[in-house]
Homo-oligomer: A and B are copies of this chain.
Amino acid sequence: MPIEGLSLNLATVRQQWTLDKAVDACLAQGITAIAPWRDQVAKIGLDEAARIVRANGLQVTGLCRGGMFPAADPSGRAAAIDDNKRAIDEAAAVGADCLVLVVGGLPEGSRDIAAARDMVADGIAAILPHARANNMPLAIEPLHPMYAADRACVNTLKQALDVCDQLGEGVGVAIDVYHVWWDPELMAQIARAGAAGRILAHHVCDWLVPTRDLLLDRGMMGDGIIDLKGIRAAIEAAGYHGAQEVEIFSAENWWKRPGEDVLATCIERFRSVC
């Protein structure tokens, strides 16, 4: 029996399996939706990844990731735009529901976050025609403010939605609870996103107390302090009923466990706490 409403972001098992092996393991436990990363696709080849998706009737809830638009010089920004167009092509080839954008932080040597944010909006605008032509929605993922300098200078749902409003059709948001749970305006902005039809993905994991690493210490759902059911209720009330995509970067815990155990725990927690 397929498990309705659960997708596995393959970063969760990136230390255990390649894409093909991860898919076999997912199917064995009833998970029929995945979200791969581009390096995972590249490792087995785009054609083979697309074949695996089609042959197994998988849903691909997103391809991770485009973005990284800011750069210190115009040639760097142009290179980012080219790379993002390739990412759109890859997302289309694997039949992804959206291309997730981690927009990038400050260019090397810069302290001007407002300028970086302008570069992000300009970059998305530059790739949007190609995305529209390929019917590939672009999902801006606001990242936690602790990543503002080096990974993403879009840090709140409000900010991401303002960019969407500026750019029009074909762009929306990926709401990852890890990044947005703390935001005093979260519930209002989820409602706004839903009303505008902008919710393209819902990622889940948990915030651990204490958190021992800024990047690689995310928790399994239920092991932290995020109100997962409350946020999910708001997202559903806003009209989004797509999958919850489990994405856990966990260098010292989940990446060290047998992949089958990780999947089984994801399923159990998805049913009990999400």
Interface size class of A (residues with CB under 8 A): 20 to 34
The minimal Cβ–Cβ distance linking A101 to chain B, given in whole angstroms, is: 17
Q: How far is the CB of A173 from chain B (nearest CB, A)?
A: 15
Contacts of A146 in B (CB 8 A): 144-146, 211, 214
Interface string of A131-167 (1 = CB under 8 A from B): 0000000000000111011100101101100000000
Residues 109 to 137 of chain A near chain B (Cβ within 8 Å) = 110-113, 117
Contact present for B211 and A184 (CB under 8 Å): no
Q: Does A20 contact B (CB under 8 A)?
A: no
A149 to B211, CA, bound (A): 10
Known contacts A182-B155, A184-B159; A227/B145 CB under 8 A: no
Mark each residue of chain A from 179 to 193: 1 if its CB lies under 8 Å from any CB of chain B, else 0.
Answer: 001111000000000
Looking at the assembled complex, report how far the CB atom of A256 sits from the nearest CB atom of chain B, in whole angstroms: 21
User: Is B207's CB under 8 angstroms from A149's CB?
Assistant: yes
> Is A110 a contact of B225 with CB atoms below 8 Å?
yes
Q: How many copies does the complex hold?
A: 2
Q: Which residues of chain B are near A227, meaning CB under 8 Å?
A: 111-113
Contact B226 A111 (CB under 8 A): yes
Minimum C-beta distance from A249 to chain B (A): 15
A55 within 8 A of B: no
Report the nearest B residue to A179, measured CB to CB: B145
**A225-258, CB under 8 A of B: which get 1 and which 0?**
1110010000000000000000000000000000
The residue from B110, B182, B210 contacting A145, defined by CB atoms under 8 A apart: B182
For A149, A150, A155, A224, which residue has the most chain B Cβ atoms within 10 angstroms? A149
Contact of A225 among B149, B159, B184, B210 (CB under 8 A): B149
The residues of B that contact A1 with a CB separation of less than 8 Å are none
Candidates B144, B145, B209; contact of A150 at CB < 8 Å = B209
**Which residues of B have CB within 8 Å of A224?**
149
In the complex, A31 has a CB within 8 A of chain B: no
How close is A196's CB to chain B, nearest CB, in angstroms? 19
CA distance A111 to B150 in the complex (A): 29
Q: Using Cβ atoms and an 8 Å threshold, which residues of chain B touch A117?
A: 184
CB neighbours of A58 from chain B (8 A): none
Q: Which residues of B contact A106 (CB under 8 A)?
A: 209, 225
Q: List 14 A-B contacts (CB under 8 A).
A: A106-B209, A106-B225, A110-B225, A111-B230, A113-B182, A144-B145, A144-B146, A145-B146, A148-B181, A148-B182, A150-B209, A155-B184, A156-B184, A211-B214
